[in-house]
Amino acid sequence: MIMASVVIFGLGYVGVTAAACLLRQGHSVVGIDVSQEKVDLVGAGHSPVREPGVSELLAQGLADGRLRTDTTAASYVATADIALIAVGTPSKRGGGLNTDFVHDVARQIGLAMRLRAKQAPPLQCVFRSTLPPGTMDNIVVPTLTAAAGEGPGSRYEVCFNPEFLREGTAIDDYFAPPVIVFGERTKGVTGGCGGLYEGVDAPRMEVSFSEAEFIKFVNNSFHAIKVVFANEVGRLCLGLNVDPQTVMSTVVADKKLNLSPYYLRPGGAFGGSCLPKDMRALLSLARLSGSRVPVLESIIPSNETHKEYIVRAIIAAARPGAHILQIGLTFKPSTDDLRESPLVDQAQTLIEEGYRLSIYEPELAGASLMGANLSFVQSKLADLADLLVTDLEGLDPVDLIVLGKPLTAALPDNLHDVPKIDTVRLRPSHWPVTVRPNLVPFAERQS
């Protein structure tokens, strides 16, 4: 494997995971971010986000002298082999994506090309930020061309390489992806994005810029559909007094016709930094194109309905003013990401309804929240520090436990006999009957 010098723009979830994995492969990495806090953390070998294995790989890369960080990039781009762009594209008010950060980075790289030696090998510019179709063709390449004074093809090349990493298993996903997608201005011109995936065994697809950009939206929308579908089936099953776990485990056992069982498990609503944002962006694209997408338009409302359904179940099971212990707050296990977590909304609603709430979330133990992650939870739960508990044995008497995540260890004796609602896996045995009113056998209702 040829070792490369890689400059990474953006040290959020995608960027810092890429840095860790590239260091593991033996490459040299310079991490660039506008946040001095992130730059200092990564520069000291610490991850600014909670992702298993990332901090250890950063620390090893630092010890080996292959990791540096900075807030400015020009001098590093001038000598790098690869520039990897993973800056944020946050949602705009109407649901579209804000590509200002990507535009700014493209301009920075273009200007830095003027400082690059003429005889230097071509710079490979790999964009991983989520982008609406047409962004590479209409914004990125023209911006690079204007700033550099020349277009791609001779001294630099451009590739769009969407990532399909799941938070909590990102490193494993990086080295064992289901597919690798290369978006190119001309098929085959990028040579596999500068060899970033050398040694990684996965199907490789060379497509156009716009196709690669859109694949990310379709991928995440399909995941969202699977979550919503499984939850709608789960609600219907509970209304019929049928076990949704049995139903869906049988459905996904059909490996010939059903693609994947991963999201098809009735449980909690979807959330996080990808599915909600990408669903809104996809709907924005549909509106701009004049396309009618009633199924896709129903996904976010259905997800909201499911969140309301769970809260109604909790209220039905708890007397007014009861002490509720909520297990979990981040949007999924093995991450500290609170952005658009259904459990944050759930906690906010329970507090507004007058319940006394305690939250047990091991993923936040010692976590240093920052950026969009911090601002989101502060907008919902300003007193988060007062709600979090770490000592379950010393907790005041609890009236109801709401399982928002799988338990990783047995509950202490004082909580064994406390009534529980399991929102991780919907089951009639763990669900209030008052939320399942139609318990008359279906055949009788048809007669």
Annotated binding site for substrate: 164-167, 216, 263-267, 271, 332
Residue positions in the annotated binding site?
Answer: 33, 38, 89, 130, 164-167, 216, 263-267, 271, 277, 332, 339
DSSP H helical ranges for 266-339: 275-289, 294-297, 299-317
Burial 241-273 (b: 16+ CB within 10 A, else e): eebbbebbeeebeeeeeeeebebbbbbbbbbbb
Question: Please, what sign has the CA dihedral across residues 120, 126, 129, 132?
Answer: positive
In whole angstroms, give the CA distance from residue 220 to residue 199: 26
Is 274 an annotated catalytic residue? Answer: yes
Return all residues near 381 (Cβ < 8 A) that are at least 6 apart: 344, 347, 348, 351, 387
Residue positions in the annotated binding site for NAD(+)?
Answer: 33, 38, 89, 130, 167, 277, 339
- For residue 168, which of 88, 51, 256, 56 has the smallest C-alpha distance? 51
- The two beta strands, 180-184 and 156-160, are antiparallel
- Active-site hit among 159, 193, 237, 274: 274
In whole angstroms, give the CA distance from residue 92 to residue 160: 22
Sheet of 82-85: strands edge to edge?
67-70, 28-32, 5-9, 82-85, 123-127, 156-160, 180-184, 204-208
From residue 113, give the alpha-carbon distance in Å to each of 85, 137, 360.
15, 19, 50
* Helix, strand, coil percent content, the chain, rounded in steps of 5: 45, 15, 45
Catalytic residues: 274
